[in-house]
Amino acid sequence: MSGKYPALLARRADAMLTLAEELLHRGLHDLAVLNAEYAAQLHVKALLYRVTGEEWRGHSIRQLLGVLALMLRRQGLAGEAERVEDFVKAYRRHLAELEEAHVRAVYGVFEYSEEQARLLLDTAKRVVELVKQLTRTIFGQPPEGV
């Protein structure tokens, strides 16, 4: 599937990733992490929409990546599904921390350090790069406007 919706999600995600970097440089680590987490989520949701034609809800990046692997496998894209599964295995702990950031960055009683924020921003960037590579492999190009 293709269309304007996944392109919109991807544009928002790219803007959030840029904002996360700016916030990190300004010392606003919690907000940097929050935007990085959203960027990763939205990129995965954009690809899920292109693969399935359905909007996906939820905030668990690990669950979204798991669903992506399952949907890719169902579409006969076993190699791409394995790439996602291998990625999740390799970055399991960092993905769990990124996922936790969705709530902790807003409601947590502790602030993220610069080092923690950089690690989670890097993890989000890795998710985004994986999704962009998969999009190019599967569709030959990212959604229009990205």
> What is the per-residue pLDDT for 1?
44
Q: What are phi and psi of 22, to 5 degrees?
A: -65, -45
Q: Does residue 14 fall inside a structural domain? A: yes
| Nearest one of 18, 45, 50 to 141, comparing CA atoms | 50
Report the alpha-carbon distance of residue 29 to residue 19 in Å, rounded: 11
Average pLDDT, the chain: 93
**146 within 8 A of 14, measured Cβ to Cβ:** yes
Q: Does residue 144 fall inside a structural domain? A: no
Q: Does residue 58 fall inside a structural domain? A: yes
Task: Spell 69-103 as b/e; 16+ CB within 10 A means b.
Answer: bebbbeeebeebbebbbebbeebeebbebbbebbe
Which residues in the chain show pLDDT less than 70?
1-2, 142-146
What's 57's domain CATH number? 1.20.120.330
Q: Does residue 10 fall inside a structural domain? A: yes
DSSP state string for 93-142:
HHHHHHHHHHHHHHH-SSPPPHHHHHHHHHHHHHHHHHHHHHHHHHHSSP
Report the alpha-carbon distance of residue 25 to residue 114 in Å, rounded: 9
What domain count does the chain have?
1
Look up the domain containing 118 and give its range.
4-139
Q: Does residue 80 fall inside a structural domain? A: yes
Report the alpha-carbon distance of residue 56 to residue 65 in Å, rounded: 11
Report the alpha-carbon distance of residue 16 to residue 107 in Å, rounded: 19
> What is the per-residue pLDDT for 6?
94
Give percent of the chain with pLDDT exceeding 70: 95
Give, as one character, the DSSP assignment of residue 2. Answer: -
